[in-house]
Structure 1
Amino acid sequence: MAQPYFEIASAPCPLQRNEFYMHLYLRQTGSGSDRTQAEIVPPKEPNSFGVTHVIDWPIAVVPEPAATIVARAQGLLMQAGLINPRTYTSFNIVFEDDRRKSNNQWAISSGTGGFALAHGIIRQKVMPLDGRRDTNIKELHIHAFYTPMNNSVVPGATDGKS
């Protein structure tokens, strides 16, 4: 008999929720050998509509250029709005720290690994920067909740390895 493609199990108790807060700094560099984004779709007129960049912005615990990178914001940035231009950004925060890495998991609603089912907000503030005009540093205040999950192997599930 074939195994059903889904199962439903009762959860007799509410899930535990944990709260976390992070204070980090994200660096965006648009050109040069240390650039952290690249244009992959050229802009259309008016207002650079549709311009799209692939991004790999380093995130550190201090704003200095030589700071240790603790994570990366990897994804897309695009100009969305014909009349009132707005930037749409979608990225994963990929932690370099082994305690925060998530392997062989796909996000259903948001976070994976140690931050399963995360939801919250990120407040950003652009910091003044002397020197390079093509570089921004954003101070990030991340405040979220997550639900610790039992990551034991589910019967019949695979880990993506062949």
Structure 2
Amino acid sequence: MASPFGVLVCLLIVLPQILAISSPIDEIAPLKTCQFPCMTEVNLHLFLHQFVDGPNNPNRNEETLLQASFIFGFGTTVVHDWTLTKTTNSRDTVVARVQGVHVQAGLTKPNRWYTTHNIEFQQGRFAGSTLQVMG
């Protein structure tokens, strides 16, 4: 068992010496500071305008590449160039374009679409930015 004198010597003489020669904690694990806020929440209220492929729709913004003969149209592949606006009016200023592909992926149920597309912003504070969406 250590004597009180030994503990005192350790605290007053040895411990400061050890601390003096050891590297500071910020050299071992430097603190990282954010130049921008680390978390930002963005709420966008945009309306997607899809005009389906078909002979009676001259202003359509999608085209069927492959019309599958499986049940529920499994495998049907459609390429799209939809628009996003701030209002429900499809003739309003286009904020972004949604360009990509959607595939009928449901073999046992209808309307099970897999989509992948890039949202390319053209107007507003995100103009020039791209968001990729899959699912």
TM-score (norm 1): 0.53
Q: Superposition pairs for residues 116-131 of structure 1, below 5 Å?
A: none
Q: 2:120 aligns with which of 94, 111, 118?
A: 94
Misfit runs of 4+, over 6 Å: none
Return the offset for 1:51.
0.3
Shift in Å, 1:102: 3.3
The amino acid across from 2:119 in the alignment is I
Matches within 5 A, 1:54-73: 54-73=79-98
CA distance, structure 1, for counterparts of residue 86 and residue 124 of structure 2: 16
| Secondary structure in 2 matching 1:47 | helix
Residues in 2 aligned to 1:11 and 1:37: alpha-carbon distance in whole angstroms: 51
What is the aligned counterpart of 1:34 among 48, 59, 73? 59
Query: 1:113-157 CA deviation, whole Å, 9 max, x = no partner?
Result: xxxxxx9xxxxxxxxxxxxxxxxxxxxxxxxxxxxxxxxxxxxxx
Q: 1:49 aligned to 2:96?
A: no
CA distance in 1, matches of 2:58, 2:30: 52
Shift of 1:26: 0.5
Q: 1:18 aligns with which of 17, 40, 65?
A: 40
Q: In structure 2, list runs of 5 or more residues that go unmatched.
A: 1-28
How far residue 39 of structure 1 moved from its aligned partner, in angstroms, is 0.4
User: Larger helix proportion, structure 1 or 2?
Assistant: 2
Q: Deviation at 1:90?
A: 1.2
Q: 1:98 and 1:27 mapped to 2: Cα distance? A: 18
Q: How many residues align?
A: 97
Q: Distance in 2 between matches of 1:11 and 1:18?
A: 24
Indicate conservation of the 8 Å contact 2:99/2:119, yes or no: yes
Which amino acid in the other structure matches residue 13 of structure 1? K
| Long gaps (5+) in structure 1 | 1-9, 104-110, 113-118, 120-162
Distance in 2, Cα, partners of 1:60 & 1:37:
17
Q: TM-score, normalised by structure 2?
A: 0.62
Q: Are 2:103 and 1:84 aligned?
A: no
* Shift of residue 38, structure 1, vs aligned partner: 0.4
Describe the shift of the 1:11–1:75 C-alpha distance in structure 2 as closer, same or farther (beyond 3 A). farther
Taking CA–CA contacts closer than 8 Å with sequence separation of 6 or more, which of the two structures ends up with the larger relative contact order?
Answer: 1
